[in-house]
Structure 1
């Protein structure tokens, strides 16, 4: 790490503030009295934190080495500081611990690890209204379901060593119209994900409960328990093996689980294996995936198996996103479950403006939009990303906008038909998310 001496002062000014309120005389000829750093340079010189050069110059615009910065930190550590000043110095000591040890300055294990746990998260409000002219799972009755949900998500990352980290995700949900918890969390914060992650060159190894990663949009926008290996550079290969909880699946999977439970044959934790490949070919970002699951619950899913004996899912998926330029892209997805007898295909085509990789939530004023046609067979993807319900097909229009830094809104409207019976289906969806 290199930075200029002047910018380094922004981390060292705290020492001057801790020692005295008045600046001393400036000994350097190249720091004029009207320079923004004049007082800090004078004070830090008087405190012995910086020394300059033998020709009475400071040379504030040149780059400094990590060793030179460590010398400044060592002198700052020798001062009697407390509160926020000490916290800043401890963080600097953790960053420059190796250089400080070479200087003979001992940094405790606590100081070295002070900044190795980071927390990120978000709070979001979701509104959804789903309307069926004839609902295939509710005696073909006309239904309308509205939800007002608040979600709190916390995502810690802890550095173990140079190669390994531990990551997690904690969620809590509240149904506002009922002023009550939802999604089975019972009002508590639920540990959704927890895994150890090791990186060695172009290879990533993960153990625990982690994102599926392969086909997140059309198949598995959720997590599984087990192990994952990713390797490769231009062509990346991902291999998953473990268990997948079908309780997180769509309403048709929920129906199959209930029927299996009634028959005393429930097996919600499916055995799971998958392999996926992703890579770039010019402006095309393409992917291919294969998923295999095994569970008794598949026997009972609507339209899954005529004979009620199939306990496998074997799904092949393909995805491609062609980038016309940095903002406009066309994306296509296809998936087929070769073990299911019906409703075994899913596909979508999406034309988007900043709806893919290039939407940035950091700054206010960003926006994007997309037009999509989707066909979502209920026996293909257990947990697709789309708000469009499984077992439906139709058109979707959406827009994203950053109304403030780290705050965006997302609006969607869907009109379509059910795959069973070809009846009308409509959906409205809105979200506002605050990220921290």
Structure 2
């Protein structure tokens, strides 16, 4: 390997030395100030990554051995505490490539470190407060800390693995409102199969804007298409608190799901979306226990900071079969941009038999609307520090119909405030 190539590669990943001040003196007589590699070589020499030869030359065109390259990598590893995430990733890849030579230099490279380039561990913690009020003067609130650890592993150049560990801790200590155990919440493999992007396992299932479904599916998802992006789903719903009604979640069935979604960009500003979903209760043989739902919607960028999204859905139920929502967004908080923020306002009308589990906190604010709900939502999010996002939203929902015979059906108000931390 030519030294000049080593210098250009190493300079791209070196330790934050680009922001360090160096003496103006030339470290090598054969690297003049006007040479293309002068800045990179000077910084590497000042950081102690390269030291040239005893006669004051660098000999950038000389081919070096793997052992000499390993020495450069070892010095870079010693300074990795100053490196950015991208630079550390480059150092990790080099340490894997020269693992045997590094061990010969007594540089510790553990088995885990050798796999650092193919295994990535990230996490997030969410502290959420929720407060419910309804017109029967009932009131409840909760404070839950949810922790998630994400595991991403590269199986080969075609397939990868994902696992999500999750634990929810009720900081109020109320019985039945938390799960203090750690569970494998999601787990799947994803890769290329016959020209499609195929996901197999348990994964989040939130098609389009979440008007129809927000849950997890045990099954398979197949995605294909460029201009017209298509996703096909088949499996069994993991979550049970579906379709509202009187039955408690533990006695509700896990629905079998067969679905397809479409997305098409008509311009740089506007994207159309649609979907068809079939939900079946496989615990009975009654053909009436199959519900079919379709939806159509769009998202358009009205201006640089303004966006409008909306969707309409309808099921084949005999009544209470329609759902729609519209939301106007201004900007939006970005966890990587301190000071970024966003606000939004939306309206929705979700009838009880229109969708099994929408993303809008259930049919209405208390997540158990027996006869659906309609109302507005306003919200605000903000990034006060890197990888930290605050969000507050308020929801005011009314009954979709005025059927007084529906026990427990009532108007409600809902406040949610949360802080999310990403690491």
Is this a same-fold pair by TM over 0.5?
yes
Q: Does 1:29 align with 2:32?
A: yes
Q: Counterparts in 2 of 1:17-416, with a 5 A limit?
A: 25-27=27-29, 28-30=31-33, 38=42, 40-41=44-45, 43-46=48-51, 51-53=58-60, 75-78=68-71, 81=74, 85=78, 92=90, 95=93, 113-133=115-135, 141-178=136-173, 182-183=177-178, 185=179, 187-199=180-192, 203-249=196-242, 252=244, 255-257=246-248, 261=251, 268-282=253-267, 283-295=269-281, 310-338=288-316, 340-355=317-332, 359-387=333-361, 388-389=364-365, 390=369, 391-416=372-397
Gaps in structure 1 of 5+ consecutive residues: 15-22, 56-67, 134-140, 300-307
Deviations 1:286-338 (A, max 9, x none): 11101101116899xxxxxxxx9831110101121111123211111111111
Query: How big is the alpha-carbon RMSD for the aligned residues of Structure 1 and Structure 2?
Result: 4.3
CA contact (8 A) 2:270 2:300 kept: yes
TM-aligned CA distance change 1:54 to 1:156, over 3 Å: closer
Query: 1:418 Cα shift?
Result: 1.8
CA contact (8 A) 2:323 2:351 kept: yes
Query: 1:98 Cα shift?
Result: 11
CA contact (8 A) 2:7 2:40 kept: no
Give, in whole Å, the separation in 2 of the partners of 1:246 and 1:171.
Answer: 15
- Which residue is 2:20 aligned to? none
Give, in whole Å, the separation in 2 of the partners of 1:318 and 1:435.
Answer: 33
Deviations 1:148-183 (A, max 9, x none): 111111111100111100012221111222266735
- 1:256 match: secondary structure: coil
Deviations 1:343-367 (A, max 9, x none): 2211111111125xxx422111111
Give, in whole Å, the separation in 2 of the partners of 1:314 and 1:326.
Answer: 38
Query: 1:41 Cα shift?
Result: 2.1
Deviations 1:226-253 (A, max 9, x none): 1110000111110001111351436x15
Query: 1:142 Cα shift?
Result: 3.5
CA contact (8 A) 2:148 2:164 kept: yes
- 2:240 match: secondary structure: helix
Give, in whole Å, the separation in 1 of the partners of 2:413 and 2:151.
Answer: 37
* Paired positions, count: 382
Give, in whole Å, the separation in 2 of the partners of 1:346 and 1:292.
Answer: 16
Give, in whole Å, the separation in 1 of the partners of 2:66 and 2:311.
Answer: 53
Query: 1:381 Cα shift?
Result: 2.7
TM-aligned CA distance change 1:399 to 1:233, over 3 Å: same
TM-aligned CA distance change 1:86 to 1:7, over 3 Å: closer
- 1:46 match: secondary structure: coil
CA contact (8 A) 1:194 1:209 kept: yes
CA contact (8 A) 1:298 1:312 kept: no
CA contact (8 A) 1:13 1:40 kept: no
TM-aligned CA distance change 1:201 to 1:352, over 3 Å: farther
Deviations 1:362-381 (A, max 9, x none): 11111111111111223233
TM-aligned CA distance change 1:272 to 1:399, over 3 Å: same
CA contact (8 A) 2:8 2:40 kept: no
CA contact (8 A) 1:202 1:233 kept: no
